[in-house]
């Protein structure tokens, strides 16, 4: 009997992520549509433990804008359900920071015509956090 594990893994990847998610090239973000106002919410075991707005034109708003600019590249389709950690909600997007990942959720465009990702389905992407994300981590933990 042959080992069918590689075939099974490939089928799961294809079925779970829409043709080739395991092998998909990293995606780039169009951040021009991802802006303030921002709100930060902290969760613990699925429960909100703190929430605060980010003031317009503040240092915090600039940190978020710099992080978005620096992280435009390298996003991949998200393959799982991720519980909320530290969440930044902006105009037309949500960033969920867990211990190792940032998960981006862009809801469907209510004005879009047609069917598909971004039109009738949300776009959910993820990116592994790096040591260079310390400034953002400090922001997410401040005052909550």
- In the chain, the percentage of residues whose pLDDT exceeds 90 is 47
pTM of this structure: 0.75
Report residue 75's pLDDT band, with 50, 70 and 90 as the boundaries: very high
Average pLDDT score over residue span 58-74:
92
Report residue 5's pLDDT band, with 50, 70 and 90 as the boundaries: very low
| pLDDT in the model for residue 35 | 80
Residue 62 buriedness (CB in 10 A; 0-12 / 13-18 / 19+): exposed
pLDDT in tens, 88-127: 999 989 999 998 999 999 988 777 676 666 567 889 999 9
Of residues 87 and 120, more confidence is placed in 87
User: Is residue 3's pLDDT more than 60?
Assistant: no
| pLDDT in the model for residue 4 | 39
Contact between residue 47 and residue 63 where contact means Cβ atoms under 8 Å apart = no
């Amino acid at each position: 009997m042959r080992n069918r594990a590689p075939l099974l893994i490939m089928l799961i990847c294809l079925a779970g992520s829409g043709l080739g998610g395991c092998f998909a090239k990293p995606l780039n973000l169009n951040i021009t549509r991802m802006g303030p106002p921002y709100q930060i919410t902290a969760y613990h075991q699925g429960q909100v433990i703190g929430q605060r707005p980010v003031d317009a034109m503040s240092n915090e708003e600039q940190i978020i804008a710099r992080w978005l600019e620096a992280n435009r590249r390298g996003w991949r389709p998200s393959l799982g359900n991720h519980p909320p950690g530290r969440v930044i909600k902006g105009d037309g997007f949500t960033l969920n920071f867990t211990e190792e990942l940032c998960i981006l959720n862009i809801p469907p465009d209510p004005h879009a015509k047609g069917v598909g990702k971004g039109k009738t389905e949300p776009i959910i992407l993820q990116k592994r956090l790096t040591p260079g994300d310390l400034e953002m981590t400090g922001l997410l933990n401040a005052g909550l």
